[in-house]
Structure 1
Amino acid sequence: MIRFIAKVSLQLLQCMYLTVVLLLCFSLIITSPVLAANYSGDLLKQTPTEVTVSLGNAANELKFEPNHLEFVAGKRYTLRLVNPSAQKHYFTAKDFADNIWTQKVEAGKVEVKGAIHELELKPGAEAEWVFVALKPGKYSLRCPIPGHAEAGMTGDIAINSGQ
């Protein structure tokens, strides 16, 4: 009889443990998407701060103007990229791109969504990169066309803490 009671008690404890674990998992499954949806919805309601960067200039100087960019984590931005020079340039900042959430990149009548790591702008081209800065840190920017970075077409991007 004592064995029977001990066995039933153990099974009852196991069922209670399993129930608690399932309830915790279920509550995480239910609340996480809701919180994420609320968070992203709030972000998309933010009016983006516009920042313009020139890739080169009309004098064909190989530089980003400005070459130091600062963003705040949790804020939405429109990065307007323009290429007024007579040659193509790249805006390459992979580590930066890995630490933001890209809403879209718009160029002409084309809108691109998803992960973006590099943009090529042909002479006279313009593009808008709409994103939310996520992870604070310092990231490098460069144009990987041979000779461009060496001539000074480099920069840095900082994402500062939103606190």
Structure 2
Amino acid sequence: MKPLFSHPALLLALAAALAPAAALAHGDEDHAGHGGAATAAQQAWGIAGDAVAVSREIAIGLHDSMRFSPERLEVREGETVRLKLTNEGKVMHELVLGTEPSLREHAAAMRQNPAMAHADAHAVHLAPGDQGELVWTFNRPGLYTYACLLPGHFEAGMSGTVEVVPR
């Protein structure tokens, strides 16, 4: 009798079944640094910015009290900013930009798969004490949200707003 995994079709089926899980699983190293590694794609809340176009830097602290400081930002339409992030807590935190509905949907997915990888240019994941940055061009006016979507954090109120004022 042949071992189960010596059959090519069965091996292929197993690999195909495990591929989505492997794509989502990761260690903290996938989140190190900043979210700029992903390809820039226009989002409702803007697009990944070019570091040479940064007009100002904004420091944001991520805290174990499940708060960001500051909790409200105001930027001009078309402005490219560098968000300088510091996890000032003792647990993992992240900052993800989006709309309220997109972040609620993402938070629900994170509850189902807490080890979900983030390769998005609009997300930064930070271990305790780590620093990172996110360069973003807010090219659409409106009210947007940033949040920590690790399970329980968003639900505990770890979110803030970005108001993009028209030129």
8 Å CA contact retained: 1:48, 1:77: yes
Matches within 5 A, 1:26-41: none
Matched with 1:93 is: 97
Task: Tell me how many residue pairs correspond in the alignment.
Answer: 101
Compare the two structures and name the one with the higher helix fraction.
Answer: 1
Structure 1 runs of 4+ off > 3 angstroms?
43-47
Q: Secondary structure at the match of 2:90?
A: coil
Q: Note closer, same or farther for the CA distance 1:73–1:85 as it changes in structure 2 (3 Å cut).
A: same
Distance 1:115 1:146 in 2: 18
Q: Pairwise CA RMSD of aligned residues?
A: 2.5
TM-score w.r.t. length of structure 1 = 0.54
Equivalent runs, 1:46-65 vs 2, <5 Å: 48-56=55-63, 60-65=64-69
- After TM superposition, the score normalised by the length of structure 2 is 0.53
What is the SS of the residue equivalent to 2:145? Answer: strand
Mapped contact 1:94–1:118 kept (Cα < 8 A): no
- Deviation by residue 1:19-74 (Cα, 9 ceiling, x = unmatched): xxxxxxxxxxxxxxxxxxxxxxxx87655211111111xxx311011111111112
- Inter-CA distance 149–46: structure 2 relative to 1 (3 Å threshold): closer
Q: Measure, in 2, the Cα distance between the counterparts of 1:81 and 1:73.
A: 22
Report % sequence identity. Answer: 29
| Alignment match, 1:133 | 138
Amino acid at match of 2:55: P
Q: 1:142 to 1:131 in 2, by over 3 A?
A: closer
Find the partner of 2:88 among 84, 91, 103: 84
Structure 1 regions of 5+ residues with no counterpart?
Answer: 1-42, 99-113
**Are 1:156 and 2:165 matched, yes or no?**
no
Counterpart CA distance in 2 for 1:132 and 1:122 is: 25
